[in-house]
């Protein structure tokens, strides 16, 4: 049975969470499973097996899950629901590096399948360090876990390798066991409501799609700013940096969603085909000079928020005190195809910025300046803004006459604030993606050719950076990164548009689209 045959139906399955004692399982996966159960999307036909090395009794494991739900779920606790829910969970201590335990796991799985009336569908979620992925895949096969009648799917977390070569090696190892259509590579940004909404807004609106090209669009800007530093993940982050942690995956996926052609059908492979064409068309930087001209890297130094002092990156736990790892990245990139020729895409992401925000801004070209309005007033460009995070919504900035004045033109905003209307309690990205994986919908997971093409773009930058770090620029924590990031746009006559919550623009909030 293929994954696709099961699209949209949940036939019941066993979920295996490898890394069940880890941070991701605690903060995201268990609350996501709970939400799906609470909303009736899972019914009672499921079982979850948590796996990690440390020993735990079933009671301890269930208590841990309960604490995770109490702390991180978007739903309040419900005693009666919890009791039924908890009955679906089992824990087994197992080291993925050895075969010991995998046959025992198979026996436990068969017992659970019989207890819950499940037909052999198995979803293996690897919330583990990537170097363990290949070994798990092989041990699952050797342990007989792939011999059941139903479907088998492997969900893997990022990072998928640390460059193209390592990603290829990892992919080959996994492909020895799983078919490409059985592999679900998570990019949690693709599970976000407003990222999924990009294609709907683009392709379902007559007043956007005809303008969606280099004739009308001046530039596209994607900002993904975080207020946090590296927290407890200094060891991982110091090896990775913003380029590999955020740009290789989330940022390039958002570029692909903005730039892709309309898919011929709304099916996973057609959508992914269009995204991969974009990733393949991103112009590589051919020389070190080109990298320096188009890419800015920064690292946060000590900074101040009100009366609180924020540590410099180099003073964070598990970070090399002489580290040249970038915590800020900004770049100008081009998608070299017919639609986008000449349109710069500016992307930036950073830790320890003043605001947590993800926004995608489409800046339209100015009206011809021989029009008499433009002669009298300084017209602002039209903007279409996708607010991805934390507020969700769409915002359009247009020019209009100031009421009561003769020829004063002011920017006005039409704001559709989705989170104001449906609240912030919309499904989390992990809920959507877990549900999609269970029903065999791979649309919002990354296919191997997307991952490999993304690495090609990243590798050029990483290789150039590895030769010489003298372009790394420090910025005080809680600021918008090095000045060079502003100059990158200023050279082209543009500026970063403020994100929501940054200095309020001179926009008049005249109308809500709701
Ligand atoms: N945390 C996050 O917010 C995010 C995480 N990710 C990715 O998710 C994955 C997991 O991250 P995270 O939860 O933070 O990591 P943690 O370090 O918190 O957890 C790792 C888990 O792996 C288990 N583990 C380690 N070695 C073995 C082994 N040999 N056999 C069995 N289990 C093992 C650990 O349990 P034990 O020690 O008991 O064996 C633990 O449960 C990583 O790939 C990470 O990059 C991606 C995006 C966000
Ligand atoms: O994948 C990652 O994403 C988070 C940011 O995700 P968000 O949903 O909170 O915007 C980032 O903090 C982390 O470093 C990175 O690994």
The predicted pLDDT at position 152 comes to 98
Closest atom of ligand 2 to 245 CA is 16
Cis upstream peptide for 60 (omega within 30°): no
- With a Cβ cut-off of 6 Å, ligand 2 is lined by 226, 245, 389
Evaluate if residue 508 carries a pLDDT over 80.
Answer: no
* Ligand in closest contact with the CA of 353: 2
Lowest mean pLDDT across 248-262, 347-361, 379-393: 379-393
CA of 130 to the centre of ligand 1 (A): 9
| Beta-carbon contacts of residue 263 (< 8 Å; ≥ 6 apart) | 270, 271, 273, 274
CB of 95 sitting under 6 A from ligand 1:
yes
Structure tokens at 189: 């940004």
Q: For the complex shown, is ipTM > 0.85?
A: yes
**Helix, coil or strand: residue 313:** helix
Residue 250 alpha carbon to ligand 2 centre in Å: 9
Distance of CA 190 to the CA centre of its chain: 5
Which mutation among 160, 188, 193 tests ligand 2's pocket best, with the greatest number of atoms within 8 A of CB? 188
Mean pLDDT of 140-157: 97
What's the confidence (pLDDT) of residue 276?
98
Tokens representing 6 are: 């099961």
Structure tokens that stand for 440 in this block: 């065999």
Ligand nearest to the Cα of 351, by number: 2
Distance CA 398, CA 123 (A): 48
What contacts 501, CB < 8 A, 6 or more positions away? 355, 357
pLDDT tens per residue, range 172-210: 999 999 999 999 999 999 999 999 999 999 999 999 999
Q: Any idea which ligand is nearest the CA of 224?
A: 2
| Residue 316 near ligand 1, beta carbon < 6 Å | no
Query: Confidence class of residue 402 from pLDDT cuts 50, 70 and 90?
Result: confident
| Atom of ligand 2 minimally distant from the CA of 429 | 8
pLDDT in tens, 454-466: 999 999 999 999 9
> What is the rounded average pLDDT of the residues 53-60?
97
* Eight-class DSSP state of 131: G
Contact 93, 56 (CB under 8 A): yes
Q: Is the pLDDT of residue 55 over 90?
A: yes
Averaged pLDDT of the chain = 92
What residue owns the CA closest to ligand 2's atom 14? 245
Given a cut of 60, whether residue 58 has pLDDT beyond it is yes
Position 5 scores a pLDDT of 41
State yes or no: 19 annotated in a binding site: yes
- Ligand 2 centroid vs 236 CA: distance in angstroms? 13
Take residue 52 and report the two structure tokens written for it: 């990690």
Is the shortest distance between the CB of 54 and ligand 1 below 6 Å?
yes
Tell me how far apart the alpha carbons of residues 338 and 170 are, in angstroms, rounded to a whole number. 34
Which atom from ligand 1 is nearest to the alpha carbon of 159? 45
Q: Mean pLDDT over residues 142-152, rounded?
A: 97
Q: What is the pLDDT of residue 358?
A: 97
Mean pLDDT value across residues 14-18? 98
379 or 73: which leads in pLDDT: 73
Tokens of 428: 């989390």
CA of 444 to the centre of ligand 2 (A): 17
Q: Is the dihedral of CA 315, 320, 322, 328 positive or negative?
A: negative
pLDDT tens digits for range 271-327:
999 999 999 999 999 999 999 999 999 999 999 999 999 999 999 999 999 999 999
Asked if residue 146 lies in contact with residue 152, where contact means CB atoms within 8 angstroms, the answer is yes
Interaxial angle between packed helices 164-175 and 133-142, expressed in degrees from 0 to 180 and rounded to the nearest 10: 10
- Beta-carbon count within 10 A of 21 CB: 18
**What are 122-141's pLDDT values in tens digits?**
999 999 999 999 999 999 99
Tokens describing residue 167: 């990603």
- Report the pLDDT averaged over residues 388-399: 92
Predicted TM-score (pTM) of this structure: 0.94
Q: Which of 171, 218, 142, 185 has its CA nearest to residue 383?
A: 218
Told to judge if 138 belongs to the known catalytic residues of this protein, a careful annotator would answer: no
Tokens of 317: 């736990």
Query: Which has the closest alpha carbon to 346: 296, 278, 276?
Result: 296
Asked if residue 390 has a cis previous peptide bond (ω within 30° of 0), the answer is yes
Tell me the average pLDDT across 18-46.
95
User: For ligand 1, is residue 476 a contact (CB within 6 Å)?
Assistant: no
Cα-to-centroid distance, 228 and ligand 2 (Å):
10
- Categorize the per-residue pLDDT at 510 as very low, low, confident or very high, splitting at 50, 70 and 90: very low
The strand pairing partners of 28, in sequence order, are: none
**Measuring CA to CA, which residue among 291, 294, 278 is closest to residue 331?**
294
Q: Which of 152, 250, 294, 500 is catalytic?
A: 250
Do the Cβ atoms of 182 and 154 come closer than 8 Å?
Answer: yes
The mean pLDDT value for 386-410 works out to 88
How do residues 418-454 score in pLDDT, each as one tens digit?
Answer: 877 766 566 789 999 999 999 999 999 999 999 999 9
Alpha carbon of 73 to ligand 1 centroid (Å): 20
Residue 478 CA to residue 476 CA, distance in Å, equals 6
- Rounded mean pLDDT of 35-42? 93
Residue 39 counted as an annotated binding residue: no
Q: How far apart are CA 240 and CA 246, in angstroms?
A: 9
Question: Which of 129, 137, 154, 241 best tests ligand 1's pocket when mutated (most atoms within 8 Å of CB)?
Answer: 129
Q: What is the pLDDT of residue 502?
A: 79
Contact call for residues 93 and 131 (beta carbons, < 8 A) = no
Nearest CA to ligand 2 atom 3: 246
């Amino acid at each position: 049975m293929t994954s696709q045959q099961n699209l949209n139906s949940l036939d019941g399955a066993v979920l295996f969470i490898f890394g069940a004692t880890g941070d991701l399982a605690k903060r995201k996966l268990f609350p996501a499973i709970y939400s799906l159960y609470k909303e009736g999307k899972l019914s009672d036909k499921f079982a979850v097996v948590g796996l990690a090395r440390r020993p735990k009794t079933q009671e301890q494991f269930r208590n841990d899950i309960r604490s995770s739900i109490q702390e991180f779920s978007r739903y309040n606790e419900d005693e009666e629901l919890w009791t039924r829910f908890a009955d679906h969970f089992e824990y087994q201590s197992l080291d993925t590096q050895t075969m010991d335990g995998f046959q025992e796991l198979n026996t436990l799985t068969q017992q659970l399948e019989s207890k819950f009336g499940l037909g052999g569908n198995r979803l293996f979620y690897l919330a583990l360090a990537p170097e363990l992925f290949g070994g798990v895949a092989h041990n699952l096969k050797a342990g007989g876990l792939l011999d059941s009648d139903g479907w088998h799917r492997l969900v893997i977390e990022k990072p998928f390798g640390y460059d193209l070569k390592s990603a290829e090696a990892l992919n080959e190892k996994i492909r020895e066991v799983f078919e490409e259509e059985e592999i679900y590579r998570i990019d949690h940004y693709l599970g976000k409501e407003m990222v999924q909404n990009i294609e709907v807004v683009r392709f379902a609106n007559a007043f956007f799609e005809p303008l969606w090209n280099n004739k009308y669009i001046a530039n596209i800007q994607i900002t993904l700013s975080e207020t946090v530093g590296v927290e407890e993940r200094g060891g991982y982050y110091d090896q990775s940096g913003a380029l590999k942690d955020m740009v290789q995956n989330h940022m390039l996926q958002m570029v692909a969603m903005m730039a892709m052609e309309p898919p011929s059908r709304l099916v996973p492979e057609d959508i992914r085909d269009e995204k991969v064409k974009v990733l393949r068309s991103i112009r590589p930087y051919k020389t070190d000079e080109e990298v320096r001209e188009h890419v800015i890297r920064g690292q946060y130094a000590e900074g101040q928020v009100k009366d609180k002092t924020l540590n410099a990156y180099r003073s964070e736990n598990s970070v090399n005190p002489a580290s040249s790892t970038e915590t800020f990245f900004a770049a100008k990139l081009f998608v070299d195809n017919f639609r986008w020729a000449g349109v710069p895409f500016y992307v930036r992401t950073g830790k320890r910025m003043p605001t947590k925000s993800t926004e995608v801004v489409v800046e339209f070209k100015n009206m011809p300046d021989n029009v008499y309005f433009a002669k009298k007033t300084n017209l602002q460009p039209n903007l279409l803004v996708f607010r991805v995070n934390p507020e969700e919504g769409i915002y359009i900035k247009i020019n209009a006459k100031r009421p009561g004045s003769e020829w004063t033109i002011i920017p006005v905003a039409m704001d559709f604030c989705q989170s104001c209307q449906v609240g912030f309690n919309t499904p989390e990205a992990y809920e959507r993606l877990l549900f999609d994986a269970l029903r065999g919908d791979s649309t919002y997971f990354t296919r191997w050719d997307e991952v490999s093409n993304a690495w090609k773009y990243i590798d050029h930058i990483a290789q150039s950076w590895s030769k010489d770090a003298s372009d790394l620029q420090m910025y005080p924590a809680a600021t918008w990164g090095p000045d060079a990031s502003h100059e990158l746009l200023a050279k082209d006559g543009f500026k970063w548009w403020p994100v929501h919550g940054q200095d309020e623009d001179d926009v008049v909030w005249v109308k809500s689209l709701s």
